[in-house]
């Protein structure tokens, strides 16, 4: 089974977004006011050439974010705290074709959550089944969804996702899961906190767990250090999730693959497991 890291450009964020500071609403304020920027971080999606069909985890960012007015003018996070950097040819459709994958051949698009740098390339996949956690999708509704930073007005009009509810099937340290494939090797697990309905994808292969973590933590080190990010919708939940992930990787040989970790593609290629 071929598995690919698919990079759609880079994003620079505030240091306080990686290392959250303060509590409650102050965490976001501290992120916005922070004067220090991270190095440019990759934006990864992941393509699995599974025998039951091609699975794409997240869709990266769209180059349209560079157009004036793409981000809402009233939202200080988008105006002052995020700098995406990509060209149209960095979008996921071009990147997949370079790997020999036709976007129309993707069977499932799983979205770990609905932040712009994960759903930005979704318009390239009108023929795929789009899979989202029910909780995450419901959090995007209305004005409160806008305040949470979901850009629903930018989503494709055809979007009619399959909303998943978890089943009481424990998977390692996770009490609930949703099995996607008939083979039973691809499961979705709730890793909430960064967003209220955030999920991760687990692929069991050759005795290893490939853990596609979305933004459950931005990097492997931040997970090992149990650092909650500065924009997490639920700080406590995020802390619990990080603990569960750490327990999981201590118990099972795991290749841990967050969406913005500069070393993630290398770890996938070398099947480097987390050492704790």
Interface ranges with Zn ion (CB under 5 A) = 115, 215
Eight-class DSSP state of 172: T
CB of 168 to Zn ion, least distance (A): 27
**Rounded least distance, CB 205 to Zn ion, Å:** 26
User: Does an H or E element contain 106, and which?
Assistant: strand 106-110
User: Of 82 and 203, which CB lies nearer to Zn ion in the complex structure?
Assistant: 82
Q: Residue 177 pairs with which residues in a beta bridge?
A: 167
CB of 232 closer than 8 Å to CB of 212: no
Is the CB of 1 or the CB of 147 nearer to Zn ion? 147
Nearer Cβ to Zn ion (54/199): 199
Element (DSSP H or E) covering residue 209: strand 208-214
Write out the H or E segment, with its range, that includes residue 47: strand 41-50
Nearer Cβ to Zn ion (50/260): 260
Whether 152 and 138 have beta carbons less than 8 Å apart is answered as no
Please state, in angstroms and rounded to a whole number, the distance separating the CA atoms of residues 43 and 61. Answer: 7
Closest separation in Å from C-beta 113 to Zn ion: 6
Least distance to Zn ion, CB of residue 238, Å: 11
Query: Minimum distance from CB of 187 to Zn ion (Å)?
Result: 21
Alpha-carbon distance of 18 to 43, in angstroms, equals: 15
Residue closer to Zn ion by CB (options 18, 101) is: 18
């Amino acid at each position: 089974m071929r598995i690919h890291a698919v990079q759609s450009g880079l994003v620079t964020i505030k240091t306080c977004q990686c290392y959250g500071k303060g509590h409650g609403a102050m965490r976001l304020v501290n992120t916005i006011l922070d004067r220090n920027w991270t190095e440019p971080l990759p934006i990864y999606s992941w393509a699995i050439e599974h025998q039951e069909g091609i699975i794409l985890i997240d869709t990266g960012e769209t180059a349209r974010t560079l157009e004036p007015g793409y981000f809402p003018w009233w939202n200080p996070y988008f105006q002052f705290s995020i700098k995406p950097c990509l060209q149209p040819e960095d979008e996921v459709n071009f990147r997949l074709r370079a790997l020999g994958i036709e976007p129309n051949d993707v069977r499932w698009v799983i979205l770990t959550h609905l932040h712009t740098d994960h759903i930005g390339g979704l318009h390239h996949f009108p023929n795929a089944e789009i899979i989202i956690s029910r909780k995450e999708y419901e959090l995007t509704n209305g004005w409160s969804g806008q305040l949470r930073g979901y850009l629903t007005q930018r989503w494709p009009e055809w979007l009619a996702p399959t909303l998943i509810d978890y089943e009481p099937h424990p998977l390692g340290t996770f009490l609930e899961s949703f099995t996607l494939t008939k083979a039973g090797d691809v499961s979705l697990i709730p890793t909430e906190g960064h967003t209220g309905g955030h999920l991760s994808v687990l692929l069991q292969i050759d005795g290893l767990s490939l853990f596609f973590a979305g933004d459950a933590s931005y990097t492997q080190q931040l997970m090992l250090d149990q650092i909650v990010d500065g924009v997490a919708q639920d700080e406590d939940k995020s802390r619990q999730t990080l603990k569960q992930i750490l327990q999981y990787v201590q118990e099972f040989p795991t290749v841990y693959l967050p969406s913005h970790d500069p070393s993630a593609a290398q770890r996938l290629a070398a099947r480097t497991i987390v050492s704790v």
